[in-house]
Amino acid sequence: MDSITREEMLNLVDDNKLRRFFACTDSKRQKFHTPKRFNLFTVLHKESDEVNLHSKFLYALLNQSGEQNLVNFLKHVGIKNFSCFNLKVEREKYINLRITNGDKKAIKIDLLITNGDKQAIIIENKIYAPDSDKQLYRYYTELTYRGYRVTQLIYLTLDGHRPSDSSTNGLNESERELIKKISYECEILKWLEVCLGNADESALQSAITQYIELVNKLTKEFKYMSELEKLLLKDNNLCVLEELKQRVGDLEKAETKIKDEFFKNLWREIHGSIEKRIPQLELAEHDGAMEWALNPNNKSNDDIKLGKSNQCGLYYSLKGDNATLGVEMLHQWNVIIGVRCHKSHHKVYEEFREKLIFHEELRKNKDALNHPEWWPWLESVDENLNFRKNEVVNKLLNDKNREEYVDKISENVKQIWEILDKAELTASYSWISSDIASFWTSIERKLSYLKKWICLCFHFWTWCNYSS
């Protein structure tokens, strides 16, 4: 269901408490809103991926520009009495446990900074993942056992909150004092700005800038959700939310009913328009691999599919049994038109593809270059229409808009059918192919009998000559 506007929600219930509740949520949403912009990090990874995105990028920056970024990091997070001699940064530091904990036989430290004096700084990076039992304790004890002097246990989170008691369980009082809470919102953002100022490559500057934007987005979203949690705990707002959910649920049921009826009418009108333009087209026999928008044996409204499966559509007979002229809706997203034939029927697949993809009138179609497993040739009716959006359905509920859309589909189908008909690839040529095939089969059978008869006569003649 599309998101409902604040005004629509307020109209659901005539209740001052509900109005106050949504006025608060609306102001908080505006306060923490972040405009959508292209970001390479979120294209390549989930934005909250601690291991493959955040720890990886922080590690890369700490190792960039010699030791300058690393030294600046230590200053920005307030690290003192840590030698800068022979500094080293490691990511996902793998250490085998001396004493295994159930199935856990090793630990991985997110980021580990060490120096030539065997001092160590542990950085535990947390975005949304929960703490593990005795996590910081195990890090500390395992490194201490291996001769390192842990000077700081840095606990990095979006907002700088403290680690859970479960994570620190086992640490004594003096060891707990080594824990330092830092946040992306404060220390990391300030350090990133310094790194950006020191960056001497445009590619690095762009990367840091985009990462700063991502960190800002994550911290604002975290604060927004924290504010919403506090709001729900005030003034019985949980009860208000429950009432709203019930009413929204009723709206979703009504929405489903409207969409069901819409898809029924749409498919019926598309088929009617195609029949009117091309009377000789007939729905193909069901092959078990197609979801039908119309049952070819019964075209009543009750048999119309609603476009809820991955794909459904109308499929019309073409030459032979392995190809159809299809009008299909993919994932309730967009309607495509083309020839439907599986690649396993290689000869048929290539024959249809060759006739259509190089045709002068269709050559400009960019979708023609995409020839997936089931479609030797296809085109999108309107790639800007997404039937999952209520605004698209609402637009086509208008009779005039829907009529124009349906006419466009049937006209495109007619254009493709006429090209195929000239190439003798429509169903009207199937009987010719069938008769020719039967004729040649009959000839081959008779030739086979004749060959056997000649061989028999030859053997008989040879035997007679040998006997005489």
Residue with tokens 């003034």: 235
Do 117 and 135 contact (CB within 8 A), yes or no? no
For residue 447, being part of any structural domain is answered with no
What is the pLDDT averaged over residues 25-52? Answer: 80
For residue 11, being part of any structural domain is answered with no
Give the Cα separation of 435 and 280 in Å (integer). Answer: 20
Give the Cα separation of 133 and 156 in Å (integer). Answer: 17
**Does the pLDDT of residue 325 top 50, yes or no?**
yes
What is the pLDDT averaged over residues 369-375? Answer: 66
The tens digit of pLDDT for each residue in 180-236 reads 999 999 999 999 999 999 998 999 999 999 999 999 999 988 888 888 777 777 776
Burial level of 271, CB count in 10 A (0-12/13-18/19+)? buried
- Pair (205, 276) in one structural domain: no
Percent of the chain past pLDDT 70, that is, above it, reads 74
**Does the pLDDT of residue 69 top 80, yes or no?**
yes
* pLDDT for the residue 177: 95
For residue 157, being part of any structural domain is answered with yes
- Pair (222, 277) in one structural domain: no
* pLDDT for the residue 231: 74
- Pair (68, 122) in one structural domain: yes
- Pair (192, 281) in one structural domain: no
Global model pTM greater than 0.85: no
* pLDDT for the residue 351: 83
- What is the crossing angle of helices 399-422 and 237-277, to 10°? 40
Cα-based torsion angle of the residue sequence 352, 354, 357, 358 in order, rounded to the nearest 10 degrees: -140
- Pair (117, 171) in one structural domain: yes
- Pair (220, 297) in one structural domain: no
For residue 418, being part of any structural domain is answered with yes
The tens digit of pLDDT for each residue in 256-297 reads 888 888 888 888 899 999 999 999 888 886 554 455 665 544
What is the pLDDT averaged over residues 139-159? Answer: 95
* pLDDT for the residue 467: 63
What is the pLDDT averaged over residues 160-166? Answer: 93
Structural domain that includes position 47:
40-226
The tens digit of pLDDT for each residue in 446-455 reads 677 777 777 7
For residue 296, being part of any structural domain is answered with yes
- Pair (138, 216) in one structural domain: yes
Tally of domains in the chain = 2
- Pair (186, 278) in one structural domain: no
For residue 123, being part of any structural domain is answered with yes
What's the mean pLDDT when you consider all of the chain?
80
The pLDDT confidence band at residue 350, using thresholds 50, 70 and 90, is confident
- Pair (196, 112) in one structural domain: yes
**Stretch among 45-54, 140-149, 239-248, 403-412 having the lowest mean pLDDT:** 239-248
* pLDDT for the residue 359: 67
Do 64 and 89 contact (CB within 8 A), yes or no? no
Do 323 and 339 contact (CB within 8 A), yes or no? yes
456 three-class SS: helix
**Does the pLDDT of residue 48 top 70, yes or no?**
yes
- 320, 324, 462 from 434: Cα distances, Å: 9, 17, 42
- Pair (262, 384) in one structural domain: yes
* pLDDT for the residue 429: 52
Give the Cα separation of 274 and 409 in Å (integer). Answer: 8
Give the Cα separation of 391 and 380 in Å (integer). Answer: 19
The pLDDT confidence band at residue 312, using thresholds 50, 70 and 90, is confident
**Does the pLDDT of residue 62 top 90, yes or no?**
yes
- Pair (151, 58) in one structural domain: yes
- Pair (69, 192) in one structural domain: yes
For residue 448, being part of any structural domain is answered with no
* pLDDT for the residue 326: 87
For residue 272, being part of any structural domain is answered with yes
The pLDDT confidence band at residue 8, using thresholds 50, 70 and 90, is low
